[in-house]
Amino acid sequence: MIMEEIQVEAENKKYDPKIAAFLCNWCSYAGADLAGVGRIQYPPTIRTIRVPCSGRINPLYILKAMANGADGVLVSGCHPGDCHYISGNYVARRKFALIKSLLTYVGLEEDRVNFSWVSAAEGGRFAEVVKGVSERVGALGPNKGVFKVDDGGATDE
Amino acid sequence: MTGVQRMNKIISDIRETARQLLADGKVDVVIGYAKGSLPLKATPCFVHSAQEVDSLIWDETCENNLAAFVAKTPGKKAIVAKGCDSRALVVLLQENQLVRDDLYIIGVSCHGVIDQRKIGAEVGEILEASISDGKISVKGMEGDKEYLFAEVKDATCQTCRYPNPVIEDLHLGELIQVSQDVAAFADVSAMENKSESERQAYFKEQMSKCIRCYACRNACPLCYCQECFVDCNSPRWLTGGVDRAENLLFQAGRVLHLAGRCVDCGACSRACPQGVDIRALNRKMTKDVYEMYNHESGISEEGKPALNVYSANDPEEQFLVKE
């Protein structure tokens, strides 16, 4: 009886993706904080990594997150024009456009890697962005391994 | 003048220039090409004295990008540069990796280099080969064949828009007329039009060939980091094993480092012992940078690489998350 219940529960349980969220210290991280302080509900799918600026994002961070099994990546910084360091997110914007384009080109599902601008005042919007990203990554299912290394090294062919 | 005479004239001019430069003490070393130990493959050559200049050659087998050696060679140096080599030199100058005054550029216009892999696929290992006047006769393990140069020209060279050096101190030989005035990316567009699963399958197949020997990185004139991310122990980006997912991580990381800087010389593809289609990734970035930021790397000394600058109006719709 109990076993059956557990099984049913497991089947009904929605798949929760794991998403690495790189948030800039000055805007998006504070936006996430505001969402928390305001008790705005959003799915517990993101694992936050605070970075000094979206300009600090190394493309390898995103690739490595995918390789280590994250189901998705969210990168968020200040809106263009609002960067604490004046031009960090402008420089990042060119980089992000190329990263997204290349990853789509090599066959990574388009919704796995996401970029957004969220300001420190947009707590509600931050929750919406996370909701949207979680839904889309959730719909794709677990990381299918374009970059994922399963067994820590040896050949998989 | 016939083609052979023109080629020989360029070779004797290169030797004479090198002799003069070394004899006058204007440079310490001349970086050029010498006949390699394998047929149809010239080897980079470092000439330190006027007596050695006769080893220098110039023909369709000079496939290395010599700009790769310039920053690593101390002292004043002269370099034999074709179009793509000179573009790489421009990027290196923009990035303060070279001192212009220490560099003497001997410019040579280039008709393209031979794609040996194409020949090797048909005749087996190439045992002997000779080139004369646009015809290449090859003796291979599995048969002999004669080719027209145009048939076996490297894929990079077929769409080359800069056969003439963009910076030089001296030009040898005639200039080559360029037919294309806009960059053509038919190969990239064809790949973009395929479905996601087709592209994924294609790159899976390509990456399973890669043995991560890093020949592509070493051949690249613009990969000059003191410590490459693949060699880095902390953080360890790559586990060290060779599987296709990790190979793709390496190639994607490499290509993103070259975004907006790659001069599309094709040295990486030619250096690859496994025939991995590395260029497909580099070309994609070149196309994006060209279309989004209207930038072609290494064509003028003014300006900076595309990712070092920005504009308030850069496009962002295609990568921002849809809400």
- Lowest average pLDDT, out of A36-40, A99-103, B287-291, B302-306, goes to B302-306
Q: How far is B280 from chain A (nearest CA, A)?
A: 10
Domain of residue A64, CATH code: 3.40.50
Is residue B158 predicted with pLDDT exceeding 80?
A: yes
**Does a structural domain hold residue A35?**
yes
Residue A10 resides in a domain: no
**Chain mean position to CA A50:** 12
Backbone angles phi, psi at B117, to 5 degrees: -65, -35
Closest chain B CA to residue A80: B312
Scanning B51-70 for CB atoms below 8 A from A yields none
Residue A62, domain member (yes or no): yes
C-alpha–C-alpha distance, residues A1 and B276, integer Å: 57
Whether residue A86 lies inside any domain: the answer is yes
- Chain-centroid distance of CA A81 in Å reads 23
pLDDT (tens digit per residue) in B216-244: 999 999 999 999 999 998 888 998 778 88
Q: Nearest to residue A68, comparing CAs of A90, A82, A47? A: A47
Place of tokens 């094993």: B241
| Residues of chain A contacting residue B230, judged by C-beta atoms under 8 Å apart | none
Helices (H), B56-185: 67-70, 83-94, 116-123, 155-158
- For residues B125 and B117, give the distance between their C-alpha atoms in angstroms, rounded to a whole number: 9
Cα–Cα distance measured from residue A101 to residue A95, given in angstroms and rounded to the nearest whole number: 10
pLDDT digits (tens, 9 = 90+) for B109-153: 999 999 999 999 999 999 999 998 889 999 999 999 999 999 999
Question: Would residue A147 count as lying in a domain?
Answer: no
Per-residue pLDDT band for A8 (boundaries 50, 70, 90) equals low
d(CA A4, CA B175): 81
> B81: part of which helix (H) or strand (E)?
strand B77-81
Beta strands A113-117; A72-77: pairing state: parallel
Q: How many domains, chain A?
A: 1
Least trusted range by pLDDT, from B15-19, B183-187, B305-309: B183-187
Nearest to B319 among A96, A149, A150 (CB): A96
Specify if A129 maps to a domain.
yes
Cβ–Cβ < 8 Å for B60, B269? no
For B241, the closest of A80, A98, A153 (CB atoms) is A153
Closest chain B C-alpha to A115 CA, distance in angstroms: 5
Q: Give contacts of B 152-211 with A, CB under 8 A.
A: 191-192, 196-197, 199-204, 208
Q: Which residue of A has its CA nearest to B237?
A: A64
Cβ-defined contact of B237 to A105 (cutoff 8 Å): no
pTM flag (> 0.90): yes
| Average confidence score pLDDT of chain B | 93
Whether residue A133 lies inside any domain: the answer is: yes
The answer to whether B281 contacts A59, with C-beta atoms less than 8 Å apart, is no
Secondary structure tally for chain B: helices H, strands E:
11, 9
Say which residue, B163 or B184, is predicted with more confidence.
Answer: B163
| Residues B285, A107: C-beta atoms closer than 8 Å | no
Closest in A63, A95, A149 to B243, CB measured: A149
A133: chain B residues, CB-CB within 8 Å: 321
B272 pLDDT band (50/70/90 cuts)? very high
Which of A66-75, B51-60, B131-140, B160-169 shows the lowest per-residue confidence on average (mean pLDDT)? Answer: B131-140
DSSP assignment of A124-137, as one string? HHHHHHHHHHHHHH
Amino acid at B118: K
Q: Which two tokens stand for residue A62?
A: 């995103």
Task: Give me the percent of chain A exceeding a pLDDT of 70.
Answer: 86
Return d(Cα B10, Cα B280) in angstroms, integer: 33
Give the N- to C-terminal CA distance of chain A in Å, as an integer: 44
In this prediction, does ipTM exceed 0.90? yes
Separation of alpha carbons B162 and B90, rounded Å:
13
Residue A30 pLDDT grade (very low, low, confident, very high; cuts 50, 70, 90): very high
Residue A11 counted as domain residue? no
Q: How far, in Å, are A6, A8, A17, B60, B135 from residue A13 at the CA level?
A: 10, 8, 12, 64, 69
Range of the domain at A99: 16-140
